[in-house]
Structure 1
Amino acid sequence: MPGLTSPPSPAGDTAALRAALTASDYTVDGVEDLLGDLASAALRREQTVPARRVLTARSGDPRATLAALFVLGAQQSRAAVDTALPGVRTAGAEALGLVRSAGHDDGDPVRAVVDLRPYAATDAGGPVQWWLASDLGELATSRRLAADHVLGAGGASTTLAQVTVRDRVGRVLDLGTGCGIQALHAARHADAVVGTDISHRALDFARFNVALNAAAADVELREGSMLEPVADERFDLVVSNPPFVITPRSGAAGAAVASALGEFEYRDGGRAADDLVRDLITGVGQVLAPGGVAQMLVNWEHRRGEPWTDRVGAWLDASGLDGWVIERELLDPAEYAETWIRDGGTTPEREPDAWEAAYGAWLDDFAARDVEAVGFGLVTLRRPSDGGTPDGRLRRLEEHHGTLRQPLGAHLAASLAAHEWLAARDDAVLSTERLVVAGDVTEERYLTPGAADPNVVIVRQGDGLGRGIQASTGLAAFVGVCDGELTVAQIVGALAALLDVGADDLAAELLPAVRGLVRDGFLAPA
């Protein structure tokens, strides 16, 4: 039922804890090596039986003790915890707010109060290995989440970290910091980071995680809603995994969900439909410095009779910023309802009445606005360094539901830089430039059996978004000779003579395509 309460958040000196976790090899690689491929894969699917079997069999290993305690929520003996946390022991972990012990004897049971697990990722700045504290999830507690639940690093958090531009910057804003994972990533390439959240409890966890993993970093944490805590300030980068979930808010549907599920601070922003996302996109420019970039993972509605690109495109126009939206996933209303009802720990098996009430309310809410589907994806915004003009702004809205080669941050940064480079060059100036083919680009040729010439040529990139462009004979030949030696005009002139066409006509055909290839990273200035 709504109203579940959470234990106090952890706090205290983390230096000894960091040393103990390192000494016990409580790392992603260390735990996966202990579990093996089968149990590790099952655990990623939130299936615990294989992991429990392995951890029970390896109970003397400190990694087994810590994984069973903090990931699976299984009680461990005081003696085992003492061994697994040298220099900290059960008493120190209890003082930090990580565990509770039933007594002081070696055999007395110890239970975790929070989830504390190793974290490893690779962003555009390279690999990282940390430990993250958050609230124990349904996997460990077998019950629905509390309203003030603090999430660890889930799939969306990892994705945002991987797609974020990692250029060296002065100030970064992590809007909706949660357990602080984006602030930690940002601290690696920023002089100062400000993390904000409406949840005081989330800020406590973020403070603990920063102290545990980046004690020397300049990270300031502030409580407040959305952009309010940083009004009148400017940042070079804003990252946000905001509470974007589209939850019924008004009328009978809103009342039904509130009664059945309650609200969750980490995901429910208190706004109807996708208004929170709209307001964030249109308002974040107020805190961006010239040249500053904002990146966020969000939802938006697909409404009957209105292309989503028109709705979200209008938000980009209203922002006055360069804007690039990549839709990564699309869910129908039923799939969306199921995803977020389960996310809070409610299941049809455990709470059938609450499940049915919430499910119906979600469908009613979407039907009231003619919502046919909900898109999920990445929004990248930038304040042009020179103010820019509407005609010169970046405005891209596209669907890319396939696989990506992560981390994507460097590719996005290069594409933003390419847009600025192209915007400063008309076709006459572009024709004087020399271009080179990116190292990840390949060419695919498809021929009818027995034919001498291909009828389809695909130029494909192996990095970034993995785009494939069907190229004309002239464009394929152009790309093939871009080695930095000849200018664009010289290549066009040579190809025109070879193909027996007018140079001006060929330039009119090729230059727009060449601009697209530069923008998307197939070609780069020499």
Structure 2
Amino acid sequence: MTDPTPPTDTPRTDPALLDALRADLARSDYTVEGVEDLLGPLAAAALHREEAVPALRATAGTTDPRAALVRAFVLGVDVPRAALERALGRLGVAGAQALGLVEAAGEGPDDAVRARVDLRPYEAADGLDTDPATPGTTGTAATTSAATTSAVTGTVDWWVASDLGELATGRALRTDHVLGVGGASTTLAQVTVRDARTRALDLGTGCGIQALHAARHSRSVVGTDISRRALAFARFNADLAGVARDRLDLRAGSMLGPVSGAGEALFDLVVSNPPFVITPRSPAAGAAGAAGDVPLYEYRDGGRAGDAIVRDLVTGVGAVLAPGGVAQLLGNWEVRRGEEWHERVGEWVEESGLDGWVVQRELQDPAQYAETWIRDGGTTPDRDPAAWAQRYGAWLDDFASRDVEAVGFGIVTLRRPLDGPPTLRRLEEVTGGVRQPLGPAVAASLAAHAWLDRRDDAALAREHLVVAPDVTEERYLTPGHADPSVVLLRQGGAFGRTVRAGTALAGFVGVCDGELSVGQIVGALASLLGVGAGDVAADVLPSVRGLVLDGLLVPVG
């Protein structure tokens, strides 16, 4: 499918110029590690907090080409043409202008050049083990630039373009702002399952980062977005990363609309960082209207009241999901007076007709939520106190109108069963630290659920299990007592789960080395404890299933 016509204020693609840009950025060591080395820990940490002064000081008065690139494309300050020419030796300022990346005041060496876009290095581990020469990437990107993949860690190094942010422009964001890679984007990239897929969908692709990750392990990817500016950035970033054009189909439209036509093939992976922010709506202006002067940003506001856009996606994504296919998305959900957080989301999962696993990672009260997203749009109480107060009040009024007491944020994983009704219903809160990337752990848990689903207790008794290598045991003893009062099984990776084990379960796990079957271990414990094997099985097997599901115990073979 032909890309939508790109707006004029977005970067443009040209194969020869992009080759030159990749080579220049790699030669200048414009990488995450290279930039942090240039800035030093203090300035790098401040920049992550959106504080520019230390980075401006660290990059002043040096001829290091990284400094010119950081000052122009991250900090948004004018740089002398000669300095940027040194950093972009092959592309040159003229080539950067042709790509729509910069604008120049003149052609003299001291004339100012200003970036039109944010262009910065991106690095993430997404859990995919693969060869650097990933099928579907162009040879140039895979061999001459930092747009490569580590065969050991699954770490990617790309450069990603987006609109300049508030840090660089010093003003509130435009409503059609194209966001770069933020914390939510990285979270989704790291929790997504990365086994081989035939056809993937990145719904609400934005600058295209999820599509880039999906292209590493999917034969073809479709990316959709309501914003044509976002699609233009996504195409630029895919071309810069070396994704073959025939493997990424970009389509304009809202939500599932662009992929719901007759004859459309189903997807076996859907990822989405949708515009899930709950923004006040004015009833007089309709569903898409803002309350008062609360602006609507395309990258975060889906034009629906409350959390309806996330609900619609959870309940509707099954229509485009192939049997065995997985959908993973981020979202917000309202917690209303008299309800637990999982009740509302649980209803959505039930309505979806899919296997469902929801992990709530954070819970904010309405005031915290309002502050977060008002600041995100560039309004602060010191810069514009009147607008701050008006928008704050609009958010609180909107939540009060629906009796919202809190807003949850989390990760939703859905799967269409290969056959039969859904059997996975898991809604849990995990607010502590986790070991990223989580994608392999999510994939392993989904596979473990399917494995357990096919085995009743009699079949499970014939299986052999081993303790996962990241599991440790902690025992707490009361002085003078030989037996521990508390036994904890701790998972070192993934979700970092801790399971309190009773005497029988601790004994069971302690001998899971793959030699004895589950049934043999249960029988041995029964003899040791002087109770019936049926009683031991009833005591430990439900917990054993939980340990297999969470990856603390692993089937042999």
Q: TM-score range by the shorter chain?
A: over 0.9
1:448 to 452, 461, 478: 478
From the superposition, tell whether residues 516 and 215 of structure 1 become closer, same or farther in structure 2 (CA, over 3 Å): closer
2:220 to 172, 192, 206: 192
Q: CA deviation at 1:353?
A: 1.2
2:240 counterpart residue number:
212
User: Over residues 269-324 of structure 1, what are the superposed CA-to-partner deviations in whole Å (9 max), with x where a residue is unaligned?
Assistant: 00011011011000001111110000001000111101121111011010010000
Aligned AA (1:140): A
Q: CA deviation at 1:77?
A: 0.5
Matched, 1:158 2:186: yes
Q: How do 1:131-150 residues align onto structure 2 when only pairs under 5 Å count?
A: 131-150=159-178
Q: How do 1:363-402 residues align onto structure 2 when only pairs under 5 Å count?
A: 363-386=396-419, 388-390=420-422, 393-402=423-432
In 2, Cα distance between the equivalents of 1:389 and 1:55? 59
1:129 to 149, 157, 168: 157
Which secondary structure does the structure 1 equivalent of 2:60 belong to? helix
From the superposition, tell whether residues 258 and 135 of structure 1 become closer, same or farther in structure 2 (CA, over 3 Å): farther
User: Over residues 59-82 of structure 1, what are the superposed CA-to-partner deviations in whole Å (9 max), with x where a residue is unaligned?
Assistant: x01000000100000100011111
Which secondary structure does the structure 2 equivalent of 1:340 belong to? helix
Contact 1:458/1:468 (<8 A) preserved: yes
Contact 1:253/1:362 (<8 A) preserved: no
Q: CA deviation at 1:252?
A: 7.8
Which secondary structure does the structure 2 equivalent of 1:57 belong to? coil
Structure 1 stretch displaced more, 215-224 or 140-149: 215-224
Which secondary structure does the structure 1 equivalent of 2:59 belong to? helix
In 1, Cα distance between the equivalents of 2:242 and 2:417? 32
2:12 counterpart residue number:
11
Q: How do 1:291-330 residues align onto structure 2 when only pairs under 5 Å count?
A: 291-330=324-363
1:501 to 498, 520, 531: 531
Matched, 1:474 2:510: no
In 1, Cα distance between the equivalents of 2:243 and 2:212? 10
Matched, 1:236 2:268: yes
Q: CA deviation at 1:257?
A: 4.9
1:169 to 188, 192, 197: 197
Q: CA deviation at 1:258?
A: 4.4
Q: Which runs of 4+ in 1 moved over 4 A?
A: 252-258
In 1, Cα distance between the equivalents of 2:268 and 2:280? 35
1:114 to 113, 117, 121: 117
Q: CA deviation at 1:256?
A: 9.6
In 2, Cα distance between the equivalents of 1:38 and 1:169? 41
Percentage identity across aligned positions?
A: 68
Matched, 1:355 2:388: yes
User: Over residues 209-262 of structure 1, what are the superposed CA-to-partner deviations in whole Å (9 max), with x where a residue is unaligned?
Assistant: 000002326111000000011114311100000000001113489999544232
Aligned AA (2:355): D
In 2, Cα distance between the equivalents of 1:7 and 1:248? 31
User: Over residues 417-467 of structure 1, what are the superposed CA-to-partner deviations in whole Å (9 max), with x where a residue is unaligned?
Assistant: 000000000111111111111110110111112221110000111111110
User: Over residues 17-61 of structure 1, what are the superposed CA-to-partner deviations in whole Å (9 max), with x where a residue is unaligned?
Assistant: 111111111111111111111111111111111111110032x01
1:44 counterpart residue number:
48
Which secondary structure does the structure 2 equivalent of 1:124 belong to? coil
Contact 1:7/1:113 (<8 A) preserved: no
Structure 1 residue ranges without an equivalent (≥5) = 1-5
Matched, 1:53 2:54: no
Matched, 1:248 2:280: yes
2:151 counterpart residue number:
none
Aligned AA (2:9): P
Contact 2:291/2:394 (<8 A) preserved: no
Matched, 1:80 2:83: yes
Contact 1:177/1:183 (<8 A) preserved: yes
1:3 counterpart residue number:
none
Aligned AA (1:21): L
Number of residue pairs matched?
517
In 1, Cα distance between the equivalents of 2:13 and 2:200? 26
In 1, Cα distance between the equivalents of 2:68 and 2:478? 62
User: Over residues 368-394 of structure 1, what are the superposed CA-to-partner deviations in whole Å (9 max), with x where a residue is unaligned?
Assistant: 1111100000000000112x225xx10
In 2, Cα distance between the equivalents of 1:45 and 1:146? 21
In 1, Cα distance between the equivalents of 2:179 and 2:292? 22
In 2, Cα distance between the equivalents of 1:215 and 1:106? 35
User: Over residues 162-214 of structure 1, what are the superposed CA-to-partner deviations in whole Å (9 max), with x where a residue is unaligned?
Assistant: 00000011011000000000000011101001000000000000000000002
1:411 to 441, 446, 449: 441
In 1, Cα distance between the equivalents of 2:278 and 2:243? 36
Q: TM-score, normalised by structure 2?
A: 0.91
In 1, Cα distance between the equivalents of 2:338 and 2:285? 23
In 2, Cα distance between the equivalents of 1:415 and 1:215? 30
Which secondary structure does the structure 2 equivalent of 1:56 belong to? coil
User: Over residues 75-123 of structure 1, what are the superposed CA-to-partner deviations in whole Å (9 max), with x where a residue is unaligned?
Assistant: 0001111111011111110111000000111110000100000001111
Aligned AA (1:56): A
1:25 to 6, 29, 37: 29
In 1, Cα distance between the equivalents of 2:224 and 2:366? 31
1:434 counterpart residue number:
464
Aligned AA (1:9): T
2:450 counterpart residue number:
420
Which secondary structure does the structure 2 equivalent of 1:226 belong to? coil
Q: CA deviation at 1:349?
A: 1.1
In 1, Cα distance between the equivalents of 2:232 and 2:455? 49
Matched, 1:94 2:97: yes
Aligned AA (1:26): Y
Which secondary structure does the structure 1 equivalent of 2:437 belong to? coil
1:223 to 252, 260, 268: 252
In 2, Cα distance between the equivalents of 1:147 and 1:317? 35
In 2, Cα distance between the equivalents of 1:122 and 1:229? 30
Aligned AA (2:113): V
In 1, Cα distance between the equivalents of 2:506 and 2:278? 45
Q: TM-score, normalised by structure 1?
A: 0.96
Contact 1:253/1:364 (<8 A) preserved: no
Contact 1:257/1:357 (<8 A) preserved: no
Which secondary structure does the structure 2 equivalent of 1:9 belong to? coil
Aligned AA (1:503): A
Contact 1:260/1:355 (<8 A) preserved: no
Aligned AA (2:229): R
Q: CA deviation at 1:7?
A: 7.1
Aligned AA (1:434): H
Structure 2 residue ranges without an equivalent (≥5) = 1-6, 129-153
Contact 2:292/2:394 (<8 A) preserved: no
User: Over residues 391-414 of structure 1, what are the superposed CA-to-partner deviations in whole Å (9 max), with x where a residue is unaligned?
Assistant: xx1000000111010000000000
In 1, Cα distance between the equivalents of 2:298 and 2:499? 43
